[in-house]
A and B are shown apart, each in its own frame.
Chain A
């Protein structure tokens, strides 16, 4: 299988869907002539032309609202947020209009929109540019939230997102854009709402998604080598819909759970997961569920300090050992 980057995987997903469906249109700041702030859309303008690849002004509320309106009439906009952090200026359009329109119309109107872009810390860009709003987005019934961790997943999930008839928000990661992985040259889709066991193990389940999957894999290797611990890693891939069954199956195997998320703890995705696991697999647990997330403060700028604010493989390793009671 060819090795391509996470960035290329996303680009290929968009190119394939642009080719398949003439209603798919890419809109966002700098997506065309500039080739994308993170080069995800590089080359698409040249290939598909300005009707399909549209540079927008810096006007998130305006262009996302426009995308919502266009989607009601059957256009399938794939909108890039240069950073998901900027969703706050379009909050009303995203979470009042896109999320509610089907409901408030009694099911008469669909909003098949995709909003995608990076949502991560770790690049020393400070608190305004480091938001990870998957919990806030997933709080809203009517929307779907996807956080891919590998090139393979990024491509397959984005293609499914574009074909979905509900609004889907895809949260990428600038640090993963350069990550290489095997991606088949044949077309494939990954349906939303299916978690993936990224590593099989028997002693401890780490439930995670996004970049912490990669960090957890590194920690798991070290835990195996140095502590003889067999860690299973469940990558949620999609936050909503949520594949809790795969999580529960792993819990039934390992009886111990560590949740790792690039999220602050309060009202985060992990809080929901911990509730569901104890509610549905209480008798399977041999120890309290543990959680490792972002240290609870706005994102710090200072580069060495930011590493310690976020999940990293050493913090994950320590948290895993603590969950094992050692």
Chain B
């Protein structure tokens, strides 16, 4: 067991240092893996990052911190039995959602799996409604009907929050299909975990997206594990390179580095919007907590592995250091952002606590559009049964 787990650790470490590979139909053959980062990452000086004002950088940092504090607070609420079901925390992965969603224009759309708190905050959802949803309250973003895994906010182009591994990926292709059908210059981002890549529906979506030139970027958030199964034990071959079989461009991104995420996602999103072409990216990242907070976390990885990531690759620490070296963040500001994020999370929890639960009458609302809009109902007959 211990031998095995060292192998896994080594494999995970190898994966994360081989960032900056690219490939695909319209690209040059995959470049050789870069040696472990020594000099500055060229992504840091990419125009999409250098164009950021100091305030914008601070706001990106603030989002990372807000997500983390929100989730830490939600974990405490879970431990206090305020939250039912599963709670899949995104802690450690924040730079992926924040980096990707920071690039969204008005016609860009996002869909993801059940580990969705980071994306929800990244697209701008109100943490009060998010916490209330965890508490199962009627003030939640889905009125207490979706829970942690099923956040939605179509007004912010956020289409969930999906509980079936891989099931959301064809929907992401469908968002892109609708954009193209309507002649809108937007792109869809369809996020999934590394465990989703072996689902048939994901491959069907890859094929349709490439066959029909849909403006979608498929984003694999590779945190090394699907529940307790390492990538090596679940997937044959590489994940990103599977795109080649569908004649799709692909890229591997360092998900611990927010600037790398932005630098490499931006051209693919632009290409999707302007040329209506799909792409697949594999963003290397890591989750610190158990698969869901109720799950044991000792059987499949070592504590040192987690601590190594926390010490050397934490996305918040790394971005803070970059911004400090750029002079965009002072100690004072860091402190202030953290305090504010903590009190925002506490405030969200207080709001959730004070909010009412749905009533039994609410259970059968939001099932049918027609039932909720009786004045516009055209059908007859019974919609509900007992």
Contacts and interface: CB of A to CB of B under 8 A. Distances in A.
B partners with A: yes
A241 B380 contact: yes
B378 A160 contact: yes
Contact of B368 (A62, A66, A72, A166): A166
A109 B286 CA distance: 32
Given A57-B207, A70-B177, A74-B182, A109 B154 contact: yes
Nearest to B179: A73
Contacts of B364: 141
Contacts of A192: 378-381
A74 to B, nearest CB: 7
Interface stretch (B142-150, B247-255, B259-267): B142-150
Interface string B368-380: 1110100000111
Interface in A15-74: 23, 25, 51, 56-57, 59, 61-74
Contact of B145 (A23, A93, A103, A240): A103
A19 B204 CA distance: 30
Given A69-B172, A69-B177, A144-B368, 10 more contacts: A63-B170, A63-B204, A64-B170, A65-B204, A141-B383, A141-B384, A165-B369, A191-B379, A195-B381, A241-B383
Contacts of A71: 174, 178
A142 interface: yes
A68 B382 contact: no
Interface string B176-196: 111101100000000000000
A240 B145 CA distance: 23
Contact of A193 (B144, B208, B381, B384): B381
18 contacts: A57-B207, A61-B201, A62-B201, A65-B204, A67-B174, A68-B174, A69-B172, A69-B177, A73-B175, A101-B160, A102-B366, A105-B160, A106-B140, A106-B141, A106-B143, A160-B378, A191-B378, A194-B379
Most buried by A among B169, B372, B385: B385
A69 B170 contact: yes
Contact of A69 (B159, B164, B366, B385): B159
A97 B177 CA distance: 17
B36 interface: no
Contact of A272 (B144, B167, B181, B385): B385
Interface string A95-109: 011000111111111
A167 to B, nearest CB: 10
A65 B173 contact: yes
Nearest to B177: A70
B146 A74 contact: no
Contact of A106 (B152, B172, B207, B208): B152
B205 interface: yes
| CB-CB nearest 8 A-B residue pairs | A69-B174, A65-B170, A62-B204, A193-B381, A241-B381, A69-B171, A107-B366, A106-B143
Contact of B152 (A64, A105, A144, A272): A105
B111 interface: yes
A96 B380 contact: no
Interface residues of B, number: 58
B178 A73 contact: yes
A66 B208 contact: yes
Interface of B: 109, 111, 140-146, 150, 152-155, 159-164, 167-179, 181-182, 200-201, 204-205, 207-208, 211, 364-370, 372, 378-385
Contacts of B367: 102-103, 141-142
A29 B168 CA distance: 22
A75 B162 CA distance: 21
Contacts of A75: 177-178, 181-182
A258 B17 CA distance: 71
Contact of A194 (B176, B204, B380): B380
A243 interface: yes
A216 to B, nearest CB: 20
Interface residues of A, number: 58
A57 B142 CA distance: 35
Contacts of A61: 170, 200-201, 204
B170 A104 contact: no
Given A105-B154, A160-B378, A193-B381, A97 B369 contact: no
A66 B160 contact: no
B173 A66 contact: yes
A238 interface: yes
B195 to A, nearest CB: 15
A96 B164 contact: yes
Contact of B201 (A25, A51, A92, A242): A92
A300 to B, nearest CB: 30
Contacts of B109: 73
Contacts of B178: 69-75
A59 B207 contact: yes
Contacts of B141: 106
B303 to A, nearest CB: 36
A164 interface: yes
A244 interface: yes
A102 B369 contact: yes
Given A108-B153, A241-B383, A165 B160 contact: no
Given A57-B211, A97-B167, A160-B379, A106 B174 contact: no
Given A69-B111, A102-B366, A191-B378, A62 B182 contact: no
A242 B163 CA distance: 30
A70 B175 contact: yes
Nearest to A100: B150
Contacts of A104: 142, 145-146, 150, 152, 160-161
A194 B366 contact: no
A189 B380 CA distance: 13
A59 B174 contact: no
